[in-house]
Amino acid sequence: MVLYLGLLIFSFIITSVLIIPFINLLYRLKFLRRKQKTRDFLGQRTRIFDHFHSKKAGTPVGGGLLIIIVVSLLYAILFPTISYLGVYISASHPLGDELNVIFFTFLFFGLLGLYDDFKKFFGFEKKGFFGLRLREKFLIQWILALVIAFLLRFNLGIDFVHIPFLGQVQLGFWYIPFSAFIIVAFANAYNITDGLDGLSTGLLMICLFAFWLLSSAVLDTALSAFIALWLGGIIAFLYFNVYPARIWLGDVGALSFGATLAVVGLLIGKIAALGVIGGFYLLEGMTSLLQILAKKIFKKRIFTVAPFHLWLQNRGWEESKIVARAWLAGLMLAIFGLWLAMI
DSSP annotation string for 81-121: HHHHTTPPP--SS-HHHHHHHHHHHHHHHHHHHHHHHHHHH
What does the pLDDT read at residue 129?
A: 43
Q: How far apart are CA 43 and CA 289, in angstroms?
A: 15
Q: Residue type for 152, please?
A: L
Residues paired with residue 169 on neighbouring β-strands, in sequence order: 161
Q: Answer whether 0.75 is exceeded by the pTM.
A: yes
The answer to whether 18 touches 62, Cβ cutoff 8 Å, is no
Task: Give the separation between CA 100 and CA 156, rounded to whole angstroms.
Answer: 10
- pLDDT of 164: 85
- Report the C-alpha gap between 341 and 67 in whole angstroms: 28
List Cα–Cα distances, 264 to 16, 239, 267, in angstroms: 25, 24, 5
Q: How far is CA 186 from CA 152, 284, 286, 295, 298, in A?
A: 17, 10, 11, 22, 26
3-state SS assignment for residue 61? strand
- What is the identity of the amino acid at 97? D
**Dihedral angle over CA of 206, 211, 214, 219, nearest 10:** -130
- How far apart are alpha carbons 333 and 48 in whole angstroms? 29
Total length of the chain: 343
Specify whether the CB–CB gap between 276 and 336 falls below 8 A. yes
- What's residue 309's pLDDT? 94
Asked if 93 contacts 158 with a C-beta cutoff of 8 angstroms, the reply is yes
Give the per-residue pLDDT at 132: 60
Determine the pLDDT at residue 130.
47
167 backbone dihedrals φ, ψ, rounded to 5°:
85, -150
Report residue 328 CA to chain centroid gap.
18
Flag residues of the chain having pLDDT under 70.
35-53, 122-132
